[in-house]
Structure 1
Amino acid sequence: MDADLLDLALTHRSFAYENGQIPTNERLEFLGDSVLGAIVTEHLYRTYPDLAEGQLAKLRAKVVSAVSLAGVARKLGIGRLVKLGRGEISTGGANKTSILADTMEALIGATYLSSGPTGAERLVHHLFVPLIDHAATLGAGLDWKTSLQEVAAALGLPATVYQVTESGPDHDKRFDAWAVLGERRFGPGHGQNKKQAEQQAAATAFKALDAERRARDAEASEQDA
């Protein structure tokens, strides 16, 4: 990869602000986000010809999420390479999901500009195809909130409302969430952001309600026999 592009991809805005407003990795991040999405989308389309559009969209969302991107960045040790301002360094910026995810996208964008579409495709396939293969096995766990909506509708339950609380300092927030369906409350789910906590709460609710649905369906089958 071109050395200047690599340096730019690793330059967070907090570092740029403290060093005379030099260029940041945000434009590369914008490009990398589109490149990653296009490559993953094509791979899903070609690899899973029997999946409907909705399922393909869930798979793509799972794979290109900030959590997935940050996970890849952590495995590669990207955090220690990112150029951060003093404030971000002091609050653990090198391990923040948002910063790692953005930097990973910037690196993909830099690869695209430096090595062309073929180079970017090789990089994305190498890093993300294992995540795609794993996501394809998750079933309901691919998106617990959507799965919960589906099982709740099947049981005639009201729409889910999420109750979320947060605690801790700004640089180390903790979120707790409960999934509430009418008078029933499931949780708590925990996470470093609201979405993670809600997904965990939804998982708890789905597993309980899906067991009820299966028991109901089994009973109905016995009665019909």
Structure 2
Amino acid sequence: MWPEAREWLAGLGIKPQDDAIYVEALTHGSFGAKRDYERLEFLGDRVLGLSIADWLYERNSGQEGTLSQRLNALVSRQTCALVARQIGLPDHIRLGKQARDDGGAESDNILGDVVESLLGASFIERGFNQTRDLIRDIWEPIMSSDAGVSKHPKSALQEWAAGNERKPPEYEIITRRGPDHAAQFTVRVAIKNVGTTEATASNKREAEKAAAKAFMEKYA
């Protein structure tokens, strides 16, 4: 472990007992090392999801759909990358020259993956409780913000589907009744292998919005 990285980890409250696992967590595949962060990122992603879900359950009394909406926002690739920047992670990623020259140290995808791999390394070495405490510490500014709050229902449903590895939602007008000045549209939204919901409103856009909201409340 190089001194700058060790000092940086100490600032996060991490004092490595096994340098190798943290070196692995900070190493991108382009660096050419025998091991990179991908396996640790897989693990850290799950630790992050459980930690944030636990935190949301503790702090909120909202319905499942509302909690799911916030969870998806708080563990999204963009949020993970934001956290990575806030804690100074870009300076410590081991990248190959070409990847660094191409801006890899500022890539949302790479930063999001590496922050999760760091959590995976922490989980292996320090266990769940200390890693959960680390997550609460570095996610606190975002948790205290409005991330994932008041998002448009269609956007929230799209994110939920992507986050749960489902096909995108499909909207269909089922009926249109009444004269033009007082029309009523009924829209069905479906996600394959999950379910469907319907809603009626005075225009197609509002009916889609209501159907998406109903779907989140029922299935998310």
TM-score range, shorter chain: 0.5 to 0.7
1:33 offset after TM fit, Å? 0.1
Letter in 2 for 1:44: L
- The answer to whether the aligner puts 1:75 opposite 2:70 as a matched pair is no
- The answer to whether the aligner puts 1:96 opposite 2:107 as a matched pair is yes
- The answer to whether the aligner puts 1:130 opposite 2:146 as a matched pair is no
- The answer to whether the aligner puts 1:86 opposite 2:88 as a matched pair is no
The two structures have a TM-score, normalised by structure 2, of 0.63
- Give the corresponding residue for 2:10: none
Q: Distance in 2 between matches of 1:41 and 1:56?
A: 8
Q: Distance in 1 between matches of 2:57 and 2:51?
A: 10
CA gap of 1:155–1:147, structure 2 versus 1, over 3 A, is farther
- Gap runs ≥5 in structure 2: 1-15, 159-170, 172-186, 188-198, 210-220
The two structures have a TM-score, normalised by structure 1, of 0.61
User: Which protein has greater RCO, CA pairs closer than 8 Å, 6+ apart?
Assistant: 2
Q: Which whole-Å deviations, capped at 9, do the CAs of 1:61-84 have from their partners, x for residues lacking one?
A: 000001110001111121121011
Mapping 1:25-104, distance limit 5 Å: 25-49=37-61, 51-104=62-115
SS at match of 2:27: coil
- The answer to whether the aligner puts 1:115 opposite 2:126 as a matched pair is yes
Q: Which whole-Å deviations, capped at 9, do the CAs of 1:89-121 have from their partners, x for residues lacking one?
A: 111000000000000000011111111111101
Q: Number of residues paired by the alignment?
A: 155
CA gap of 1:110–1:147, structure 2 versus 1, over 3 A, is closer
Q: Which whole-Å deviations, capped at 9, do the CAs of 1:12-68 have from their partners, x for residues lacking one?
A: 11113xx4xx1111010000000000010011112112x111110010000000111
1:132 offset after TM fit, Å? 2.0
Contact residue 74 and residue 142 of structure 2 kept, 8 A: yes
Q: Which has the higher helix share?
A: 1
Q: Aligned Cα RMSD in Å?
A: 2.9
- Gap runs ≥5 in structure 1: 161-180, 182-205, 207-225
Q: Distance in 1 between matches of 2:55 and 2:156?
A: 23
